[in-house]
Structure 1
Amino acid sequence: MSSGKFAGAVDLSGPDRLQMFIHKVSDSQEMWGLYVDGWAEATDKDGKKGLVVWPDEPHARLCATDKWRLHSPKMIKLSSFNERWVDKLVRMRLKVAVFPTPFDGPVFVDPVTLRAELL
């Protein structure tokens, strides 16, 4: 990714980052989370937790700071997310916290809705 595209992506609005995420993940067939003895999570304004994901490793690495400073980027295959993760997230009552940046929080999405967008 060129540095201009990288810099521009972190300045996008939440809805625009969500659309970028859907496009990139659909193309690459992978998404990225942060992991250390468990996956990074975020909490929405209502106190509901979500698994945090990014469209690529550089954006995930950019957010491996502060409370996630010990975490490392880890790839999640889209097929695995669709076939195994979505049902588990639903059972655990977790959302998906899509593409936070150092400047803006994630967009929280229902896992079933996100799976449908990524198909």
Structure 2
Amino acid sequence: MFSSKNAGMVDLSGPDRLQVFIRKVSETQELWGLYVDGWAEASDDNGKKGLVVWPDEQHARLCATDKWRQHAPKAIKLSSFNERWVDKLTRMRMKVAVFPTPFDGPVFVDAVALRAELL
């Protein structure tokens, strides 16, 4: 269930959602993606792909609609993200698409830069 405590986060600007994401993931030591036979991805205005992530299961579930309606929220341990995912995303020339909402797209961040913020 979507809690009222987090309800206002979907109304935040992209940069503010990025800061909430960093703070919350640093606290919980996990981030969330949407998964079904592969992880959900988004593309920026230049067509560059990014792995889509959220700070919690609730917000990931909120976006499991439309093109991601078959996807389900799945946790990613922060240690796994930092140790394995960042290098793989960098090799694949992918960004991290942070915290989209039903009303606004994600903030695209370089994986190495995001890892530095989350350490």
Shorter-chain TM-score range: over 0.9
1:6 positional shift: 1.8
1:106 matched residue in structure 2:
106
Q: Which amino acid aligns with 2:50?
A: G
Q: Which amino acid aligns with 1:91?
A: R
Unaligned runs of 5+ in 2: none
Residue 77 of structure 2 corresponds to residue 74 of structure 1: no
Instruction: Return the alpha-carbon distance in structure 1 between the equivalents of residues 3 and 35 of structure 2.
Output: 25
2:43 matched residue in structure 1:
43
Matches within 5 A, 1:53-68: 53-68=53-68
1:64-103 CA-partner distances (Å, limit 9, x unpaired): 0000000000000000000000000000000000000000
1:42-72 CA-partner distances (Å, limit 9, x unpaired): 0000100000000000000000000000000
1:2 positional shift: 7.5
Q: Which amino acid aligns with 1:7?
A: A
Residue 13 of structure 2 corresponds to residue 13 of structure 1: yes
Contact 2:33 2:52 in 1 (8 A): yes
Q: Compute the TM-score of the two structures, normalised by the length of structure 1.
A: 0.97
Q: Which amino acid aligns with 1:72?
A: A
The answer to which of 56-65 and 1-10 deviates more is 1-10
The answer to which of 99-108 and 4-13 deviates more is 4-13
Unaligned runs of 5+ in 1: none
Distance 1:38 1:3, change over 3 A: same
Three-state SS of the structure 2 residue aligned to 1:103 is coil
1:7 positional shift: 1.4
Percent of aligned positions that are identical: 83
Instruction: Return the alpha-carbon distance in structure 2 between the equivalents of residues 3 and 65 of structure 1.
Output: 19
Runs of 4+ aligned structure 1 residues displaced above 6 Å come to: none
Three-state SS of the structure 2 residue aligned to 1:52 is strand
Contact 2:2 2:58 in 1 (8 A): no
CA RMSD of aligned residues (A): 1.2
